[in-house]
Amino acid sequence: DHLVSGHMDNLRGYICNRSEDFLRHSAHFVENHDEPRAVEEFGGSMRANAAAAISFLLPGLRLAFHEQWEGSARRLDVHLRRSAKFETDAGTARYYRKLNTVLAENVLHSGKWSYVHAQHPTNGEHGGWRVVSWKMYTAEERMLIVVNYTDGDAAVRFQLPDTPGNGNITVKEFMSNKTYERDANELRTRGLLVVL
């Protein structure tokens, strides 16, 4: 319901005020057999895909419904033996292939969860209210998850005090598969700038 309403304070409040144990024992989904298809419910594939990222990247049980990964907007009546044919949305199919690659990362299955707040904006940074963010981490791996769940852009910093090492380290952006070199001390103090 928080994803459907799109009210960022309520969504952020719901996620950051839940314990890791609560999330791990919860089921997360954006559509199922007795609800409208995500593309219809969220007003298009872009917002439906962002809702799926939030749902699937949180700890807990991840549920996807029939043809959700193909961007189907047709509701399947559970009393029928077959559904009407539809054309797969190529962008949604690509998005879910990439999301599934990210979901295979070990840190999302064996890591600990912690909500991460965006820092107050400075020097042209803006839109911290537009994002929800948390991290998954083990002793060896850290993954910062940031989702912009609005129709505008955001440039936000996240202080990462548990960044290991000194000098430059490699930061990977999983959805684009790009890597960046960032100073470990700067990540611990000033933070990582994320633009979405």
Q: Is 126 left (phi over 0), alpha (psi -120 to 50) or beta?
A: beta
* Whole-angstrom distance, CA of residue 134 vs CA of residue 27: 18
Q: Cβ(131)–Cβ(149) under 8 Å?
A: yes
Residue 86 has pLDDT above 80, yes or no: no
Mean pLDDT of 124-138: 90
Residue type, 64: A
pLDDT at 20: 94
Residue 13 has pLDDT above 80, yes or no: yes
Q: What is the pTM of this model?
A: 0.89
pLDDT tens column, 20-41: 999 999 998 888 887 888 888 8
CA angle 25/137/58 to nearest 5° reads: 35
**Banded pLDDT at 81 (limits 50, 70, 90):** low
* Whole-angstrom distance, CA of residue 128 vs CA of residue 158: 10
pLDDT at 68: 80
Chain mean pLDDT for the chain: 89
pLDDT at 121: 74
* Whole-angstrom distance, CA of residue 139 vs CA of residue 164: 10
Tokens of 185: 């001390």
* Whole-angstrom distance, CA of residue 56 vs CA of residue 40: 19
